[in-house]
Amino acid sequence: MSRIGKLPIHIPTGVIVTVKDSVVTVKGPKGELSQSINPDIQVKIEDNDIQLDRPTDERSHKALHGLYRSLINNMVIGVSEGYKKELELVGVGYRVSNTGQLLDFSLGYTHNIYLMLPKEIKVETKTERNKSPLVILESADKQLIGQVCAKIRSFRKPEPYKGKGIKFVGEVIRRKSGKSAGK
């Protein structure tokens, strides 16, 4: 049996989970999320717990069992607590600002990069003296916030020689030494 799939998901207070026609909908204080699941996987809700069952021990059913349990767990956590990611711009002259949902990046290219964020994501930018600019993203949808962070990071990935680029706060970049001195 899948170790992840057989774990029950606890439903916190204030969160409502409904299952109808292979679609799981989770409502909570931070929003509402829904996920369609394979009809082979059965979702049972009992005593503030969600339990997922699979019909057979086929390889595909085992994979889907753990997958859907993780997706539903992420939705429950998202609508109750939410997810928060912080990105840091490291480099001389790198700047970011936001006007509503529009992010404006200045990353050393000849032009600024503009990114319009989905309405489900709350964005905040911080620029303090003698500190790297920060982009703080908050959302209930873990998949969406991860995709947006990957897109922002792709504009200027951290490079291994000077460490310049867009990185997550607390991320450690493996550094290289550069050219060796002559013999």
CA distance 139 to 115: 17
In tens digits, what is the pLDDT along the chain, a chain of 183 residues? Answer: 468 888 999 999 999 999 999 999 999 999 999 999 999 999 999 989 999 999 999 999 989 999 999 999 999 999 999 999 999 999 999 999 999 999 999 999 999 999 999 999 999 999 999 999 999 999 999 999 999 999 999 999 999 999 899 999 999 999 988 887 555
List every span in the chain annotated with CATH 3.90.930.12.
Answer: 9-80, 83-168
pLDDT at position 43, please?
92
Quickly count: other Cβ atoms within 10 Å of residue 26's Cβ: 25
CA 158 to chain centre: 19
User: Going by CATH, does the domain composed of 9-80 fall within 3.90.930.12?
Assistant: yes
CA distance 180 to 183: 9
Q: What is the pTM of this model?
A: 0.88
Q: Which residue from 48, 94, 47, 52 is spatially nearest to 70, judged by alpha carbons?
A: 52
3-class secondary-structure state, position 134:
strand
From 3.90.930.12, 2.60.290.11, 3.40.630.30, 3.30.70.270, which CATH number describes the 83-168 domain?
A: 3.90.930.12
CA 96 to chain centre: 20
Beta strand extents in 56-120 (DSSP E only): 83-90, 95-99, 102-106, 113-116
Write down the residue that tokens 């390889």 correspond to: 59
